Amino acid sequence: MNDNMEGGEDAELVGMGLRVSVSPAQTAFYIILVMLGTLGNAAVVGVIGKSVIVDRAGGRNSDIIIINMALSNLLVSVMRNTLLIVSDMGLELYSSKEWCQLLMGVWVWLRSVNVWSTLFLSAFHLQTLRRVAPVIGNLHAPRGLPKTLMLILGLIWCLNFIYSIPAHIFSTSGNMNSTETLMLVSSTTRPLLGCVWNFPSSYSGLAYATTSMVIHETIPIILMAITNLGSLYTLYTHSRMRSSVPDAPVMKRLPAERRAAKVILALIMLFIASWGTSIISVNYFNYNRGSSAEFLLVIARFANIIFIAMSPAVLAVGHRRLRSFIKSLLSK
């Protein structure tokens, strides 16, 4: 949905659209966050991915889920946040309608995968805690990658690709005077490369935004909160059982699971704070347009990057291989 659309040759190549005034301090801080997100998530994918490849058994399930989450973070940082930096630095970039449709679809797809991958990590840890004993099998036979887990991760990417199709259809290129009248958490908080939403009517655009807010943005946060409360309750019940059955397999794993629970809880709380702030800010813009809209969009812009930038540091606290990698870098 864009204002002041022009036809003819002006629609083929367009400018950057709406410019948001940002201070040099904001730009510098955003660049630092994007660099942290890109380098940090690349390190997570590289270090943990190498251990999964080297491991004859195919690696631990939790490591594969973490790689999937970090990969989605990395792609969002490279495909979207890096372009935002280029825009903030004042470099004039141009995009055609076809490129806008492709980019808007990719942005929504990657952000959607990001949120559901994080939810899956929380749900998987709850399921692991509820398991009363480790799975018994032939420890010497090579297992390879777990098929069920890979199928679920594949479904996350495929289903969210389907969800992103409207972003490909209902987006277009604006002109130098274009202003965004509809925003989604899963895309951008302003026209980037001149790309804007182009729904048939304001009602259809708000219907899509509302559906996205409920199904894709709000429900995952609620489910994350539920799964984390379930994990904490399961750890509490295990602690009460510890004195009565001290030699049970689950009791022996309790200290390690408690450490993992703290790391995952910190990750989910960081995600909820980041994603929740974006939801409030963007939907205030969509439905209110009050005097605080511009300020809240600046807040949303930084909230979108906080989780991507800080999640590798949170993971490094609780993951042995990441800690070893960081220590090896510091010792050089």
Express each pLDDT in 238-262 by its tens digit: 677 655 555 555 545 556 666 777 7
Could you give phi then psi for residue 16, rounded to 5 degrees? -85, -5
The per-residue pLDDT for 247 is 52
Report percent pLDDT > 70 for the chain: 69
Give the tokens for residue 33. Answer: 């966050």
User: Residue 139 has what pLDDT?
Assistant: 39
* The predicted structure's pLDDT at residue 241: 67
Determine the pLDDT at residue 9: 36
Instruction: For residue 20, give every residue at least 6 positions away whose Cβ sits within 8 Å of its Cβ, in sequence order, or none.
Output: 190, 297, 298
Number of Cβ within a 10 Å radius of residue 275:
25
Distance CA 240, CA 155 (A): 37
| Distance, CA of 74 to CA of 60 (rounded, Å) | 21
Q: Which residues pair with 180 in a beta bridge?
A: 2
Please tell me the pTM assigned to this model: 0.79
The span from the CA of 23 to the CA of 309, in Å, is: 20
Measured distance CA(328)–CA(307) in Å, rounded: 25
Give every CB contact of residue 156 below 8 A, 6+ residues apart in sequence: 68, 113, 116, 117, 120
pLDDT over 90 percentage in the chain: 15
Q: What is the DSSP string of 183-211?
A: --TTS-SS-BTTEEE--SSHHHHHHHHHH
Query: What SS3 state is found at 231?
Result: helix
Start-to-end CA span in the chain (Å): 53
Low-confidence ranges of the chain (pLDDT < 70): 1-22, 56-59, 90, 92-94, 132-145, 174-192, 238, 241-258, 282-294, 296, 332
Look at residue 21 in the predicted model and tell me its pLDDT.
59
Q: What is the mean pLDDT of the chain?
A: 75
